[in-house]
Structure 1
Amino acid sequence: MSSTIKFKLSFMMFLEFFIWGGWFVTLGTFLSKNLHATDFEMANVFSTQSLGAIIAPFIVGMIADRYFNAERILGVLHLVGAVLMYQMYGAADMSTFYPYVLAYMILYMPTLALASSVSFRQLTNPEKQFSGIRIWGTIGWIVAGLAISYIFRWDAAASEGALKNTFLMSGVASLVLGVFSFALPKTPPVKLDENEKPSFASIIGLDAIKLLKDKNFLIFFISSVLICIPLAFYYSNANLFLSEIGLENPTGKMTIGQASEVLFLLALPVFFTKFGFKKTILVGMLAWVIRYLLFAYGNAGELSFMLLIGIALHGICYDFFFVSGQIYTDSKAGVKYKSAAQGLITLATYGVGQLIGFWVASYVGDKYKELKATDMAAFWNHTWVVPAIIAAVVFFIFLALFKDEKIDSTNAAH
């Protein structure tokens, strides 16, 4: 792979995740402080990510994979996304904001698969080369968070209302990536024989549904959906929580989570090989329980270290469950259903699981909202104990029902 192509792919990944990290992390705080959204209105907005994840396979599988160059669709989606970001920047209330964020997420979520598709088609040895490209996405997310907290200070208490500028920043980045995408290596659709055209069911992962006949895979599948409920609490509440209890530069500090993600991603193959799949995924589940208990009982003063440890656990929470889960799914699917199986898991977790999670989070927030006005610390304590309990229940279900089995981890890169 030439250095020019490597640079282009790395820059594409940097911008792809800079855009997402540039507004999504602070979204809960923006909705609460700028648009004065209710808990159910916030759930509606966060659910757009899940709706986008559910619709994404149709856009990528039925259009991008069959009719148009992936890099051109990537460019068009980000150019339209830049316009929608500008509209979100100017929105003054929820009724104006929601249609734009819904349209944006339906267009953005497919770009995650498109960016990976463009990369994989250019790599001569994806297993070894892709991580070096993908890591620039994590760096982009980190840079966006650091810029918000330490350069622009938009999430500072004194900058009331300034968080709307995150949409302008992400919109500019989306515009740049939209234009830059047309300079990416050409990635035309793969031509298939007439009898090889993918079915509608295979595109959205339904071909892999027969894997659920395997009791172990069924337990894993159900656990994957359930663990996304506490995950949704983190996405919708973490930044708002850190901001409301007075932790300085919350968005910048949350980038510790992405840094730990990189470190634990490197440690995962060693842990996976030594301890096996079941123990690895149980550690990931247990990390969710510990993280939320740290959030529940920490504070922005003398116990702020508890909050920082909770943020730093993101690497274990995410990598040890979701990445090891992808490896497990890949090993169970077999050659014929590899893509379909990953599609099914993605649809179940980012789609159905988080959709349920965002609504559960909003229900909990609404249930304790009266407490928030009188005792902020007690409100957040109650809010974080709930996902800790849910994660603990999932942990014990998986521990009791999943039978340990040997997993082939040679396909870990995918």
Structure 2
Amino acid sequence: MNSLIKNKLSFMMFLEFFIWGAWFVTLGTFLNINLKAEGFEIANVFSTQSLGAIIAPFIVGMIADRYFNAERILGVLHLVGAFLMYQMYQAQDYSGFYPYVLSYMILYMPTLALTSSISFRQMLNPEKEFSGIRIWGTIGWIAAGLSISYLFKWDASASEGALSNTFLMAGIASLTLGLFSFILPKTPPVKSNDGEKASFASIVGLDAVKLLKDRNFFIFFISSVLICIPLAFYYQNANLFLTEVGLENPTGKMTIGQVSEVLFLLLLPVFFSKFGFKKTILVGMLAWAVRYLLFAYGNAGELSFMLILGIALHGICYDFFFVSGQIYTDSKAGEKYKSAAQGLITLATYGVGQLIGFWVAGFIENKYKDLKGTDLAGFWEQTWIVPAGIAFVVMLIFLVFFKDEKVKSAE
């Protein structure tokens, strides 16, 4: 890959995740403070990510992978996304905000697959080259969080409604990426070896359903769905929690999680080869439970280190479960079903699993909302104990029912 293409793909990844990190991290706080949303209203907004993840394969499968160049679809989606971001910036209440965020997420989630597809098509050795491109996405997310906390100080002025500016920032970045996409390398629809375009069933992951006949893969699949319930609690509540308990510069400090993600991604192959898949994924599940217990019993004063440690565990939580899970899925699928299997797991986790998780998080908030006015610490303690318990139960299910096996592609 020549340096010009590499730089273009890196900038594409930077903007792609800068856009997401610019508004999604502080979304819960914005909804609570700016729009006075509660419980299931907040859950419904966050659920748009899952609905977008469910619909995304159909958009990519029916349009991008069949009829049009991926870079053109990416450009159009981000240009429309910029308009929707501006509408979200102007929204004054939940009812005026929800239609735009739903429309936006239905359009944004397919761009995650499109950016990967555009990148892979330019690479001769994706195993070595992709990480160098993808890491710019993480840098983009970190840059967005640091900008909110330390450059613009919007989360310090959250009570004054300053977080609405995050949508304007994301909209400008979306407009930039939309225009930039049209000068990305041409990425036309892919045809199979026999000249036929990939089947729709393969694109959306339906061809991989037969893998569920394998007992181990079935247990992994169910565990993947269930572990996304506590994951949804983090996305929906973490920034609001850190803001309400008084942690300074919460959005900037949450970028520690992305730094941790990069570090543990580098450590994952070593851990994987030494301890195997089952132990690796169990450590990831345990980290979710520990993280939420740290949130439940930490505070922004003398125990603030517990909150920082909980954020820093993100690398283990995400990499040791989701990345190792992708490796496992790849090894189980075989050459024929690799793409379909990854599509199935993505649909199950970001789609179904997190959709359930956001609703459960909304239910828990409603259940304990009376505590919030009288005992804020008690409210958050009860809120975080629930996902800690769920993660621990999922870990036990996986420990008991999953039989250890060697994962060849990880060696």
TM over 0.5: yes
Q: What's the counterpart of residue 237 of structure 1?
A: 237
Note the C-alpha offset of 1:203: 2.2
Q: Distance in 1 between matches of 2:138 and 2:159?
A: 27
Note the C-alpha offset of 1:61: 1.4
Note the C-alpha offset of 1:123: 1.1
- The amino acid across from 2:37 in the alignment is A
Q: Distance in 1 between matches of 2:121 and 2:195?
A: 23
Q: How many residues align?
A: 411
Q: Distance in 2 between matches of 1:195 and 1:121?
A: 17
Q: What's the counterpart of residue 381 of structure 2?
A: 381
Note the C-alpha offset of 1:282: 0.2
TM-score (norm 2): 0.98
Q: Distance in 1 between matches of 2:73 and 2:376?
A: 46
Q: Contact 1:75/1:182 (CA < 8 Å) preserved in 2? A: yes
- The amino acid across from 1:168 in the alignment is L
Structure 2 vs 1, CA of residues 224 and 108 (structure 1 numbering), >3 Å: closer, same or farther?
Answer: same
- Where structure 2 has 5 or more consecutive residues not aligned to the other structure, the ranges are none
- Where structure 1 has 5 or more consecutive residues not aligned to the other structure, the ranges are none
Q: Contact 1:153/1:159 (CA < 8 Å) preserved in 2? A: no
Q: What's the counterpart of residue 309 of structure 2?
A: 309
Q: Contact 2:299/2:307 (CA < 8 Å) preserved in 1? A: yes
Which string of whole-angstrom CA distances, capped at 9 and with x for unpartnered residues, describes residues 307-351 of structure 1?
A: 000000000000000000000000000111111100000000000
Q: What's the counterpart of residue 297 of structure 1?
A: 297
Note the C-alpha offset of 1:287: 0.2
Q: Contact 1:208/1:337 (CA < 8 Å) preserved in 2? A: yes
Note the C-alpha offset of 1:13: 0.2
TM-score (norm 1): 0.98
Q: Secondary structure at 1:122's aligned position in 2?
A: coil
Note the C-alpha offset of 1:192: 4.0
Q: Distance in 1 between matches of 2:234 and 2:178?
A: 30
- Runs of 4+ aligned residues of structure 1 deviating over 6 Å after TM superposition are none
Q: Distance in 1 between matches of 2:2 and 2:200?
A: 36
Q: Is 1:68 the counterpart of 2:68 in the alignment?
A: yes
Structure 2 vs 1, CA of residues 72 and 195 (structure 1 numbering), >3 Å: closer, same or farther?
Answer: closer
Q: Distance in 2 between matches of 1:230 and 1:326?
A: 19
Which string of whole-angstrom CA distances, capped at 9 and with x for unpartnered residues, describes residues 173-228 of structure 1?
A: 00000000001111111134777443332221111111111110000000000000
Q: Contact 1:20/1:170 (CA < 8 Å) preserved in 2? A: yes
Aligned ranges 1:152-231 → 2 under 5 Å: 152-157=152-157, 160-192=160-192, 196-231=196-231
Identity of aligned residues (%): 82
Q: Is 1:25 the counterpart of 2:33 in the alignment?
A: no
Which string of whole-angstrom CA distances, capped at 9 and with x for unpartnered residues, describes residues 18-38 of structure 1?
A: 000000000000000000002
Q: What's the counterpart of residue 392 of structure 2?
A: 392
- The amino acid across from 2:342 in the alignment is Q
Q: What's the counterpart of residue 97 of structure 2?
A: 97
Q: What's the counterpart of residue 321 of structure 1?
A: 321
Q: Contact 1:298/1:306 (CA < 8 Å) preserved in 2? A: yes
Q: Secondary structure at 2:160's aligned position in 1?
A: coil
Which string of whole-angstrom CA distances, capped at 9 and with x for unpartnered residues, describes residues 336-370 of structure 1?
A: 11111000000000000000000000000000000
Q: What's the counterpart of residue 343 of structure 1?
A: 343
- The amino acid across from 1:396 in the alignment is L
Q: Distance in 2 between matches of 1:301 and 1:254?
A: 17
Q: What's the counterpart of residue 365 of structure 1?
A: 365
Q: Is 1:58 the counterpart of 2:69 in the alignment?
A: no
Q: Contact 2:53/2:106 (CA < 8 Å) preserved in 1? A: yes
Q: Secondary structure at 2:92's aligned position in 1?
A: coil
Q: Secondary structure at 1:300's aligned position in 2?
A: coil
Q: Contact 2:13/2:140 (CA < 8 Å) preserved in 1? A: yes
Q: Distance in 1 between matches of 2:217 and 2:121?
A: 30
Which string of whole-angstrom CA distances, capped at 9 and with x for unpartnered residues, describes residues 111-137 of structure 1?
A: 000000000001121100000000000
Q: Distance in 1 between matches of 2:325 and 2:196?
A: 28
- The amino acid across from 1:32 in the alignment is N
Q: Distance in 2 between matches of 1:205 and 1:75?
A: 25
Q: Contact 1:291/1:311 (CA < 8 Å) preserved in 2? A: yes
Q: Distance in 2 between matches of 1:192 and 1:214?
A: 27
Q: Contact 2:273/2:410 (CA < 8 Å) preserved in 1? A: no
Q: What's the counterpart of residue 352 of structure 2?
A: 352
